[in-house]
Amino acid sequence: MVVPLPTGWDPRPRAEHPVPWTNQTSEHFLQPTAQELQQFVQSAIQLTCTNKNVTESQTILIYAWNESSENGGCLIPSVGNGTYYVNALSKILPMTCPT
């Protein structure tokens, strides 16, 4: 099993050119704080460490770092956030299971 991690939803890239299938505006987005993201990633890694029998690959998948207006677009550097999330993750990664 690979542990998937969604990281939020940010429709701001669609603000200037909205898609016809949604009426959400750029004011409606949910993103974690840097600390929440760090905690989420650390928890996922810890889950793989404590459940090696089902997480043999010892892998987490952060979905999707480059989906700018879909699930998880908050990780890539952007006009709105700069490198906020990349910087947050750089403080905790790499992280490995204790031996």
Whole-angstrom distance, CA of residue 71 vs CA of residue 75: 10
Which of 86, 91, 35 is closest to 62 using CA atoms? 86
Q: Per the domain annotation, does 22 fall within a domain?
A: no
Number of domains in the chain: 1
> Across the strands, what pairs with 44?
none
Whole-angstrom distance, CA of residue 3 vs CA of residue 62: 9
Tell me: pLDDT of 44 over 90. yes
Average pLDDT of the residues in 7-29: 69
Q: Per the domain annotation, does 95 fall within a domain?
A: no
* Domain of residue 47, residue span: 3-14+29-90
Q: Per the domain annotation, does 57 fall within a domain?
A: yes
Amino acid in the structure at residue 87: N
Tell me: pLDDT of 55 over 60. yes
Containing H/E element for 44? helix 34-50
Q: Per the domain annotation, does 19 fall within a domain?
A: no
Token digits for 25?
A: 């505006």
Q: Per the domain annotation, does 45 fall within a domain?
A: yes
Q: How confident is the model at residue 71 (pLDDT cuts 50, 70, 90)?
A: low
Q: Per the domain annotation, does 99 fall within a domain?
A: no
